[in-house]
Structure 1
Amino acid sequence: MPELEPIIEIARAVLVGRSPLGREDTFLFDHSLRVMRVAERLSACREVRQWRLDRFALSVAALFHQAATVRLEEERRTSTVYAAAMMSDEDVKEYSAELAGDRLAGRLPPRQLEHVQEIIRHTRDAASDIAEAKIVSDADSLDDIGTLGIWRDLRRNILEGRGVEEAVRGWQRREQYGYWEARMREALRLETSRRLAAGRLAAARAFMEQLAHEGDASDMPPEDLA
């Protein structure tokens, strides 16, 4: 079996772009590493013990599941004709699978590399029966839930010039419409993932409640206002 560390370095070269400040932007690479770690943990849980898994292919697919994103973002910033605007989610997954195949050719046995590409193509596909794709899908969705999801949202809000109040309102709208419950019900295939998501969501709610209190100064003790 090939070593994973060289594959991680190849993924880093694909996934690290340039930030608006001209520095290395490791956001997507960090996300992919987290997805890989969670996918590896999920693959070891009792719920999937009877599944036939290629755990190395699982790890590699998790690393490359969004391989096209950096290139598409660079195209968005530099091209007058933004082709990615016309690309569906399926197109983006196909592009990511192609990039994985291109960058990893000769690094993995051909059949295993083809399996990696199929996992990527079927990530977040509710109809897929590919075991590894189910696990990568859950790991990817879990990265949107909890304090990591807040981190992603706050990063986007900061880049778009939005303040704390707007971030809190956006969170409260999701809560009002039961967004997280629906997301957990529809996106997560494993019961293990749903339990993990519930714990993460509880932590996120506590954080956002505190952020809201600090944002409007409602955390000040009543006795200090007398």
Structure 2
Amino acid sequence: MSELDTIHQIARKTLTVSAPSGGRDDWLWDRTLRTLRNIEHICRLPELAEQAISIDRFCLVTAAYFADSGLVYFAGNQKAAGKCPPADVTNADLCNVSTQTVSGKLADVITDTRIDKINRIITESFDRFTGVTEAMILSDGRGLEDLGVAGLLGEFRRQLIDGKSVSDMLESWKRKIEYGYWQARLKESFRFAAVRAIAKKRFAAAERFMNQLAIENSASDMEERLAKMLENK
């Protein structure tokens, strides 16, 4: 078994927790696999190839496996059923716990030098001014997970566990639109133009989803249909 195979197994065990039903909760593990797929494609971007930039794929992939591992700790400290991480976990706190997890879980698997580099990639990925290529790739790969429908599902999951209603979710979405949260994310959070373009498409899909949800929540489609029926009588 290769080192990466071993790391894959450790990461899966770390990121898979117990669901409230007693079964297995694979949510965070599944998100991590999507992030890894994003990263795989980002590494093949022409702008990276043209610059002949060297990428340490081993350390990058390992960093991707554990970048969100700190969420397991914060979710475990939640009293709410479902053990969903709180929304107010700071990047600094997440980074600190995630890098500690790397150091603890991988100490007997890889060298200290590699552990230090992996932790640097994770740490730098939270800095939008970083010049570390692997950190930039990791940041963009993770950022894509927040912009589309999959990102919405993650937000819904957290809010539903907190007892929020559909109306609450729509109001939260509306507030973020009004103060430009998503626009700022699209403008500032992505280092690679091709990834930003995909992020915009994913956000547009999420926006269509939320617009439809708003229609159904207000029954405005039924209201419009009824108005036309009465008009034609």
TM-score scaled by structure 2?
0.84
Per the alignment, residue 4 of structure 1 pairs with 4
Higher mean displacement: 68-77 or 46-55: 68-77
Residues 16-56 of structure 1: per-residue CA shift (max 9 Å, x gap):
22334443222221222111111121111112222210112
Structure 2 unmatched runs, 5+? 81-85
Q: Does 1:129 align with 2:140?
A: no
Which amino acid is the alignment partner of residue 222 of structure 1? R
Residues 59-90 of structure 1: per-residue CA shift (max 9 Å, x gap):
11011002222123223449xxxxx9xx8533
Distance of aligned partners of 1:130 and 1:172 in 2 relative to their CA distance in 1, 3 Å threshold: same
Counterpart secondary structure, 1:122: helix
Contact kept? 2:144, 2:199, Cα under 8 Å? yes
Residues 66-117 of structure 1: per-residue CA shift (max 9 Å, x gap):
2222123223449xxxxx9xx8533431331121122123433443332112
Distance of aligned partners of 1:76 and 1:161 in 2 relative to their CA distance in 1, 3 Å threshold: closer
Aligned length: 220
Q: Percent identity?
A: 33
Deviation at 1:149, TM superposition (A): 1.6
Alignment of 1:1-226 (within 5 A): 2-49=2-49, 50=51, 51-77=53-79, 89-220=91-222, 222=225, 225-226=229-230
**Shift >6 Å, 4+ stretches:** none
TM-score scaled by structure 1?
0.87
Using the alignment, how far apart are the partners of 2:195 and 2:186 within structure 1?
9
Using the alignment, how far apart are the partners of 2:191 and 2:65 within structure 1?
20
Distance of aligned partners of 1:135 and 1:74 in 2 relative to their CA distance in 1, 3 Å threshold: same
Counterpart secondary structure, 1:7: helix
Using the alignment, how far apart are the partners of 1:127 and 1:46 within structure 2?
22
* Aligned CA-pair RMSD: 2.5
Using the alignment, how far apart are the partners of 1:92 and 1:154 within structure 2?
20
